[in-house]
Copies of this chain bind each other. A is one copy, B any other.
Amino acid sequence: MTYCVGLALAQGLVMLADTRTSAGSDNISSFSKLFLFEEPGERVVTLMCAGNLAITQSAMNLLVEGIDDGTGNVETILTVPSMFKAAQLTGRAVRAVYEADGAALKAHDFSFDVSFLIGGQIKDRRMRLFQVYAAGNFIEATAETPYLQIGERKYGKPILDRALRHDMSLTGAVKLALVSLDSTLRSNLTVGLPAELVVYQRDSLKVALSRRITADDAYFNHIRQQWSESLREAYRALPDPDWGDANDLPRVTGDRI
Contacts and interface: CB of A to CB of B under 8 A. Distances in A.
Given A36-B251, A249-B212, A252-B77, A162 B237 contact: no
A29 interface: no
A31 interface: no
Contacts of A238: 175, 179, 223, 226-227
Contacts of A107: none
A141 interface: no
Interface stretch (A97-105, A128-136, A151-159): A151-159
A22 interface: no
Interface string A246-257: 111111111011
Contacts of A36: 249-252
A212 B222 CA distance: 40
Interface in A113-167: 154-155, 157-159, 161-163
Interface of A: 34-38, 60-61, 64, 76-78, 154-155, 157-159, 161-163, 171-172, 174-176, 179, 183, 186-187, 196, 198, 207-212, 218-219, 222-223, 226-228, 230-235, 237-243, 245-254, 256-257
A230 B157 CA distance: 17
Given A154-B187, A159-B235, A231-B231, 4 more contacts: A154-B155, A158-B186, A210-B249, A211-B243
20 contacts: A34-B249, A38-B251, A60-B257, A155-B158, A161-B187, A162-B232, A175-B241, A176-B235, A179-B235, A207-B247, A209-B245, A210-B246, A211-B241, A211-B246, A211-B249, A219-B242, A226-B237, A226-B238, A227-B234, A234-B234
B163 A208 contact: no
Nearest to A60: B257
Contacts of A162: 186, 228, 231-232
A221 B242 CA distance: 12
B209 A163 contact: no
A213 to B, nearest CB: 9
Contacts of A158: 155, 158, 183, 186-187
